[in-house]
Amino acid sequence: MTVTMPPTPGAYLDHAATTPMSAPALAAFVAEAGRTGNASSLHSAGRAARRTVEESRESVAAALGARPSEVIFTAGGTEADNLAIKGIFWGRRTQDPRRIRVLVSAVEHHAVLDPAFWLAGHAGAEITLLPVDGEGRVDLDALRAELAEHADEVALVSVMWANNEVGTVQPVREVARIAHQHGVPVHTDAVQAVGQVEVDFAASGVDALTVSGHKVGGPVGVGALLARRDLPLEAVSHGGGQERGVRSGTLDVAAIRALAVAVTDAVSRRAERAASFAALRDELVAGVRRVAPDAVLRGPDPTGGTADAPWRLPANAHFTFPGAEGDSLLYLLDSAGVQASTGSACQAGVPQPSHVLLAMGVDEVAARGALRFSLGDTSTRADVDALLAALPQVVQRAQAAGLVSARQGGAA
């Protein structure tokens, strides 16, 4: 079956929020959606659906360096993060009631932070936010100190593989090594990393890893948690006992198939994609600095690290614009046909500075003027050119609006 991809409207520079479905993933989704069969049913249609699910599980595992039995399908990255944080906490606390501490980096996505703090409010957890440096990289000495002092009380550590806002790639293997010296399991949210940097579950040493379909060219509403078989993991949802008994619910066979195709495709082309993204990102960064000299690049130097171990995601560029509000910049750019983001799409519409930038030491006023530009398979030089053509006037207008707002606030 041939499926034609519709064009992405305007200059779309928000692939970190969601990506267009890739042609092979969309074709797989459409083909599978036309079939009937519950993967838990025992008749022939059910067995055919189950075969598709298990083949998809094998594909995801092979692409991400895991065993098929370690792949648990979910309805997306948020559910996978919740299952990891709550499930590991409850699993470890059941084994040892002293395990009440959860260590998470201060720059985690809210899909990790919010369930952690929910546990603090409802299940007696004690949360420690691990500090980061000015580039958003987790402080390993702080992790060592927390584990040295409270090792017997720590249930788990969660540090994302790569930050969704400023693109910082974290030292996940070192985090896992340090935590395992104290017998503490590690979860990582790798939603942004898959397909951009090398992600190998087994080699990383982590105990649980989150992936999401719509960040890698798959559909919205499907993801997976990779979890070691011996990891204490309690169910968050209950019902039919699917997915090792920790994630009940009828499996979305079409979405799972499309997820497997998208992950396999993105990972197989990772080196080529990363090089293309990085080259276009570097043009974008240089161009923004040229047309908006006051803009401040946040996160690691794009040229830092190596091709195999970059410090920053190759598709990410993040700036703050002094004197301008991020929301004003976003809407003005959108009016000019350029689509970007002020940060995490999950927090869109909430008028507050990014917790990621604040954790990096950026002051609240500067943090309000943030814009994230993120690239994907459909990104072109024309998209970057459109941004650079619109940006000078957009920044000027946003700064003027900010000046007026500041004067009115002072007058009040």
Catalytic site positions: 346
Q: Report phi then psi at 355, rounded to 5.
A: -65, -25
Burial classification of residue 141, based on how many CB atoms lie within 10 Å of its CB (0-12 exposed, 13-18 middle, 19 or more buried): exposed
The position carrying tokens 């105990």 is 207
3-state class (DSSP) for residue 170? coil
Q: What gap in Å lies between CA 409 and CA 139, rounded to an integer? A: 38
Burial classification of residue 125, based on how many CB atoms lie within 10 Å of its CB (0-12 exposed, 13-18 middle, 19 or more buried): buried
**DSSP per-residue letters across 293-352:** TT-EE-SS-TT-B-SSSBSB-TTEEEEE-TT--HHHHHHHHHHTTEE-BSS-GGGTT--S
Segment holding 95, helix H or strand E? helix 77-95
CA atoms within 13 A on the CB side of 4: 2
Render the burial of 283-299: b for 16+ CB within 10 Å, e for the rest. Answer: ebbebbeebbeebebbb
Segment holding 12, helix H or strand E? strand 11-12
Q: What gap in Å lies between CA 40 and CA 115, rounded to an integer? A: 29
